[in-house]
Amino acid sequence: MPKAYLVAHIRVHDKDGYEKFRAVSGAAIAEYGGKVLVRNPAADHREGALRGTTIVLEFDDIATARRFYESDAYTAARKVREQAAETDLLLVEGV
């Protein structure tokens, strides 16, 4: 079964709020076996309009990634993030 990835571009407008999100989301990521592969606020942007901190999380499979995203723990963290940042986020299955 292929790995799955959460890919996000996060544009922070409240640094303190975003730090709170990072703290509460970490427990949810760990609970679902997620692994942070990329967290970079200064990507070498070459094309397109997406800006902000780039995040890539790896999960064992797409079902686990979906359970993580829909979990109560991540839903609570997401509400914190939504107050602190604008986000583009998608779940994708690897090859």
Q: Read off the pLDDT of residues 64-86 as tens digits, 9 standing for 90 and up.
A: 999 999 999 999 999 999 999 99
Which residues, other chains included, contact 18 with Cβ-Cβ below 8 Å and sequence gap of 6+? 10, 12, 81, 84, 85
Closest CA to 54 of 46, 62, 63: 46
The CATH number of the domain holding residue 86 is: 3.30.70.100
What is the domain extent for residue 89? 4-44+51-93
pTM beyond 0.85: the answer is: yes
Per-residue model confidence as pLDDT tens digits over 25-50:
999 999 999 999 999 998 998 999 88
pLDDT for the residue 50: 86
- Structural domains of the chain, count: 1
pLDDT confidence of residue 83? 98
pLDDT exceeds cutoff 90 at 1: no
